[in-house]
């Protein structure tokens, strides 16, 4: 059971480039989300999805797009990378979206540097 798989592990982009961070889970989880982690800021929610075809914004959605065409996959797209998007990105999933106290399962992160 692989859990939550993120690719790539590391990425360097130039300002203005676009890219997609991949996330896949094999636990048939309903809920998937993306967080970014910056020093001293903890984890901040970017976007989340409560099921295939349904996405919504978190705390810091600007500059990012998501889609959820299947239960398993939840890619995060950077449309035009900026140095402020230099961060570590985590994908996380949970069994259901509300009311059941289910914990989040995290991937191992993608370390992104934008120069």
Partner 1 sequence: SQQGEEDPQALSIQEGENATMNCSYKTSINNLQWYRQNSGRGLVHLILIRSNEREKHSGRLRVTLDTSKKSSSLLITASRAADTASYFCATENYGGATNKLIFGTGTLLAVQP
> Smallest gap, in angstroms, from Cβ of residue 11 to partner 1?
15
* Residue among 44 and 77 whose Cβ is closer to partner 1: 44
CB 54 within 8 A of CB 35: no
Tokens describing residue 95: 């069994």
> Smallest gap, in angstroms, from Cβ of residue 60 to partner 1?
10
Residues 86, 36: Cα–Cα separation, whole Å: 9
Considering only residues 17 through 56, tell me which ones interact with partner 1, judged by CB under 8 A: 31, 33, 35, 40-45, 48, 50, 56
Radius of gyration of the chain, Cα coordinates, nearest whole angstrom: 13
Residues 76, 47: Cα–Cα separation, whole Å: 9
What is the binding site for partner 1 (CB under 8 A)?
4, 31, 33, 35, 40-45, 48, 50, 56, 58-59, 90, 92, 97-99, 101, 103-109
């Amino acid at each position: 059971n692989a859990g939550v798989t993120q690719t790539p592990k590391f990425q360097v982009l130039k300002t203005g480039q676009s890219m997609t961070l991949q996330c896949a889970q094999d636990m048939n989880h309903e809920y998937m989300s993306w967080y970014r982690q910056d020093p001293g800021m903890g984890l901040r929610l970017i976007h989340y999805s409560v099921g295939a075809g349904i996405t919504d914004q978190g705390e810091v959605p600007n500059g990012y797009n998501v889609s959820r065409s299947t239960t398993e996959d939840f890619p995060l797209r950077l449309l035009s990378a900026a140095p402020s998007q230099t961060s570590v990105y985590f994908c996380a999933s949970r069994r259901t979206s509300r009311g059941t106290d289910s914990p989040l399962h995290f991937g191992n992160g993608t370390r992104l540097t934008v120069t």
